[in-house]
Structure 1
Amino acid sequence: MFNQGSARMFSRCVQVLRRKLQVSQVRYLSDRGFNVPPSAEFVARVSGIATMGKLPFQSSAAGLDAAFIGVPIDTGTSNRPGARFGPRQIRSESFMLRAYNSATRAAPYESLMVADIGDVNVNLYDLKDTCRRIRETYREVLQTGCIPLTMGGDHTIAYPILQAVAERHGPVGLVHVDAHADTGDTSLGEKIGHGTPFRRCVEEGLLDCGRVVQIGLRGTGYSPDNYAWSREQGFRVVQVEECWYRSLVPLMEEVREQMGSGPVYLSFDIDALDPGFAPGTGTPEIAGLTPVQGLEIIRGCRGLNLVGCDLVEVSPPYDTTGNTALTAANLLFEMLCVLPKIKYYD
């Protein structure tokens, strides 16, 4: 039985817990002035509005150092549709994320002001108009100095995003992780689609071609050397066979040297991973990268001058367990953790 002193102590503990619950039920700021997602120690993961990592929603990028933004389209898809639902599902699965990176000891929410700024208002009936809308939205985001972390959507979106990025930063280096080179010229007579974005980027001078690496490329092709065009532009092509059975830490040391101190964009197609790990995508190819290798690539970008990142091609209709979207959410968090100015604990 409790004595009177024990009862008073118990009452105080209950009051403290109630105060914590009340604070955690809303989006709140830390004492350092950064947005901090509520902890699942006090707020149920399944509660609340679905934002990336349970971060606050903000209607613009004003005042932010980095922002998660969705581009829900699959109008440029050549095979299985459904990527238009990718941003929504990634946000739902991101409730498992916590505030710190236990492996790298990164503390993004003690370093940068971050929020979820919602989705681009795309036109599902007109891909060219959608590209215009994406480009204009990203111009506004980048004008604030904010670094966009994008949830796709099919890979078409990289083209208008890079148009806006290059307007601000000039030609950028590119770390492109994918099963496919996405350097086709046309598909069914169309110049814009998820298989063509990086050819369009080269044609418009958006990329610093000597600072482009494509990792994980594989699958059957339309010619004996499906990646000849990439090599002719000066890209470094790392086919998946070079990645089998090994750590990619040494590769990323070489990539960091290749990229130097100039601005770099990171584009990660979820189909770079083997479909055994990430089946929820539109154009899967067997014998891909592992999630461990995906983490090695992203963590290997630490120290680069990253000016934007995307994670694309999550198709929830083919993701029956939610594991593909969960993996995507974690990879996006890892991208946040390697942005410039992130604090790391020793």
Structure 2
Amino acid sequence: MTSSPPDVLDSPKTETRPDSDEAASLATLGGDKRHSAEQIALLLFIVVPFLALVAAVPLMWGWGVSWLDLGLLTAMYFIGCHGITIGFHRYFTHGSFKAKRPLRIALAILGSLAVEGPVVRWVADHRKHHKFSDAEGDPHSPWRYGESVPALMKGLWWAHVGWMFDEEQTPQHKYAPDLIKDPAIRAVSRQFVLWTTVTLLLPAAIGGLVTMSWQGALTAFFWGSLVRVALLHHVTWSINSICHAVGKRPFKSRDKSGNVWWLAILSCGESWHNLHHADPTSARHGVERGQIDSSARIIRWFEKLGWAYDVRWPTTSRIDSRRKEQSGQAA
């Protein structure tokens, strides 16, 4: 059995910090402030994969890319993407379903393979985002600087990348106390560097073993690690930036979240963002006909296998209650 996430949307503003001994025993990787060494590491993990993504087009044009490289890129991409969307987001952040213990731990590890930060910090940031969505206190709202075009351009950059370099971090003990109290999840969170190493070296190891060459290992690392991480990063960050600036808004929400159809496949269903903010605990985000949501499909498979239970599937009446009187409104 797993406990539901705390109701941070209605939590009091006063904070009760654990004493120093308790805080030390419950520590996860990364505290409430981001220090210089961590900021430098973060910069490297953003810039290096991005440069690989930029270089991918001319390299593909000049030398091509093997089916093995493409297979590793695709497989690793969707493993990490679903680890984030199903694990970090719908399960750990919002409690959209309950999971048997092995699945719970596996989702924490798979989400870590996306190289988007330790699970406890990721969840804390996202719960705070929902508490203050597109208002003061939101860690990554594109409307942070105002609604003029220059302000929005600046805000989009902040929501996409800039917010991650803010020294002040979300207090994890306040927004993710349930995860901190779980020894296994706390351990996975503290082992983030280990899982980052695994996710970066695994494609190279597979590529080298299959081709029995260093060149095969190198190209597999380039496509299956660097390009894949950069692509997944920017798709995920686009949910913070693009999906809070544009898109259709058929459902009632207290923010500017929108549905962006062309990100649906790459985001594993996360870009049906308006429904998500209208009904955050729903296990399915793409609820309209034709809205692809691979994360919801996999949760359904977990349910059928008995690994997941008490899934919060949206009902017709629940969806209708959140629908605007005139649907299809766009930004």
Structure (1 or 2) with the greater strand fraction: 1
Shared topology, TM-score over 0.5? no
Could you state the TM-score of these two structures normalised by the residue count of structure 1? 0.24
